[in-house]
A and B are shown apart, each in its own frame.
Chain A
Amino acid sequence: MSGDIPFTSEDVEEIVTILDNTPYDRLDVRIGRFVLRVIRSGEGWSQELEWSDAGSAALAINLDVVSVEPNTTSDDQTLEIRPPLPGTFYRAPQPGAPAFVEIGDRVEPDTVIAIIETMKLMTSVSAGCSGTIEEIVAENAALVDSDSVLMRVRPDVA
């Protein structure tokens, strides 16, 4: 927060117009903390913006992703259901509604067991296997990623 603002489209347009008639392929322009790099590229020109910010490391944030370790007490005969993409895990279609599945429920590969909200989109999660829900590992509304185990399923005995 300093008052300097990186280059408008008009600024960049002017710089490119000037550069286009020169033999130069690249120009770096520094204003305050920002460095604009204009480069000859493809059918025209491209721009890159970088900034220096001494405090940025301290400000770096953690996405606080819940990463569930595989259950070591598992007898290795259960199957794990993992989310197809990172996001927020919901057990029910909406708050207050019954959960898609509970422990002890039978599931088939296309049974919907949860939804994952990522970038405001809801994606249904299917069981992907047949069997009985043995454990619900992830907490409702937790942030999960592809390493997280959502649920464990005891497969049908052949």
Chain B
Amino acid sequence: MIRRLFIANRGEIALRIIRTARRLGMTTILGVSEADRTSLPARVADEAVIVGPAPSAESYLSVDRVIAAATAAHADAIHPGYGFLSENASFARAAIKAGIVFVGPDVSSLDAMGDKLMARKIGLAAGLPVVPGGEAEDKAAARLQAAKTGYPLLLKAVSGGGGRGMKRVDRAEDLDSQIDLAMAEARAAFGDPRIYIERYIGRGRHVEVQVLGDGQHAIHLGTRDCSIQRRFQKLVEEAPAPGIPDVKHRALTDAAVRLAEHLKYRGAGTVEFLVDSETFEFYFLEMNARIQVEHPVTEAITGIDLIEQQLLIADDQPLGLTQARMSFVGHAIEVRINAEDWLRDFRPSPGRVTRADWPAGPGIRVDSHIANGGLVPAFYDSLIGKLIVAGKTRAEAVARLSDALSSLTIEGIETTAGLHRRIMADNRFISGDVDTRFFEGLARG
């Protein structure tokens, strides 16, 4: 039984985990940095402890400090959220060694999927198609691999996720400088500078499948489309992925379950695919062995609390859900509200939020840690909240989201809310005709 849950994260996901853990009767302990001590999650948690100073490397990314804080708090489990240490196998090992349950998959799955190169190999072993590419240990090896793969190509962080450390390179002469930037970002975000190379596929859709496994069985909770991205940062996510023929949709979910069973996967995970927007052929990209930012759209169409499932599985309970009993109802869309000035090249806009007026009403869910007076520190990710709407149909969800965005006012910092209003008015989005180049074609000004 998990009685004392330590949450090793911050922001909206910390608040999200606290809500479910509370409902399950657990005592929540939040480990925060100095910069987050007055944050809403710190105020709401049953207990809050400081794990370190503001910079992530000395707080949220410090395995030693987080484990020490969790041990001192007598926690019997740690929920890592997303980002930070959530897919860090050394962190999971350290937790287990300290006698604390890690709310996430087995260390073997983290080892397998945390290293994106290894993930490619395992994807192949499980019979999934992968994008052409390969490793790039240093610049010389990168040049060789790039010559084989061809341009344009993507540089990706081996320990990556969330688009950090990912760079598109169009010409051979840009390769070296982009490698420097990609490695610096990868080191800053994941503590691991290694990168690899993958062919860039322009006209594709990013479709992912939510899976749950208990080590014996695995099921899927449907698809999500996250094609609307800017520089590999997801902006809009929806469930289910629209406009995919049933037979291909089934092939995608089957492939995801096959991978989860191949790994004897325990916990919640997301299998990401690149899907050709015309032929619907698909390639396995990676598996995220954690909860995703966009998990609420899946919750909206399945009625399942994914954090609850994570906690139950971590508590060694077999899956109470079966594929046959899963039902998918309606359509859900999430937009990420980031502290960024989207009209000035998405420049980060940290600071004090003087007024946070979030939309409210039927079919509307807001996951945010930012209330009136909330602080957005410059040290962390720019996500200040997620607006999620559900409707009986996609058209209803789009209309509801459009209305909801008109009721959203954030003052004190710049946000991406205006960008989302623009997206909602775009005919390609309204008709569901989106691919990863959507953003480039968005009307500006």
Footprint of B on A, CB under 8 Å? 1-6, 8-9, 12-13, 15-17, 20, 33, 38-39, 41-51, 53, 56, 59-61, 63-64, 84-88, 90, 93-95, 97, 115, 117-122, 124, 143
Contact = CB atoms under 8 A, between A and B. Distances in A.
A121 to B, nearest CB: 7
B164 interface: yes
B377 interface: yes
Contact of A42 (B19, B381, B407): B407
Given A49-B356, A59-B38, 19 more contacts: A1-B47, A2-B43, A5-B18, A6-B371, A9-B366, A33-B43, A41-B409, A47-B357, A48-B357, A50-B372, A51-B40, A94-B184, A94-B187, A115-B184, A119-B339, A119-B378, A120-B185, A120-B188, A120-B381
B37 A59 contact: yes
Nearest to A57: B38
A40 to B, nearest CB: 9
Contact of B409 (A17, A20, A46): A46
Most chain A beta carbons < 10 A, residue from B35, B180, B189 = B180
B377 A63 contact: yes
Given A20-B361, A119-B380, A43 B44 contact: no
B365 A9 contact: yes
A48 B19 contact: no
Given A46-B408, A61-B35, A93-B180, A8 B347 contact: no
A46 B407 CA distance: 6
Given A9-B366, A120-B164, A61 B360 contact: no
Which of B40, B371, B406, B408 has the most chain A CB within a 10 Å cutoff? Answer: B371
Nearest to B35: A61
B403 interface: yes
Interface of B: 18-19, 22, 34-35, 37-38, 40, 42-48, 54-55, 164, 180-181, 183-185, 187-189, 193, 339, 347-348, 350, 355-367, 371-373, 375, 377-382, 402-404, 406-409
Nearest to A6: B44
A44 B407 contact: yes
How would you classify the secondary structure of chain B's contact residues: helix, strand, loop or mixed?
A: mixed
A61 B38 contact: yes
20 contacts: A2-B43, A4-B44, A5-B19, A9-B367, A16-B361, A17-B362, A33-B43, A41-B407, A45-B361, A49-B40, A59-B38, A60-B38, A61-B34, A61-B35, A61-B37, A93-B180, A95-B187, A115-B181, A122-B188, A124-B181
Contacts of A46: 357-360, 407-409
Contacts of B377: 63
B370 to A, nearest CB: 9
The residue among A38, A41, A122, A143 with the most chain B CB atoms within 10 A of its own CB is A122
Given A93-B183, A117-B188, A1 B45 contact: yes
A56 to B, nearest CB: 6
Contact of A119 (B19, B35, B367, B382): B382
A92 to B, nearest CB: 9
A5 B378 CA distance: 26
B366 to A, nearest CB: 6
Nearest to B404: A44
A85 to B, nearest CB: 6
B407 A118 contact: no
A115 B188 CA distance: 12
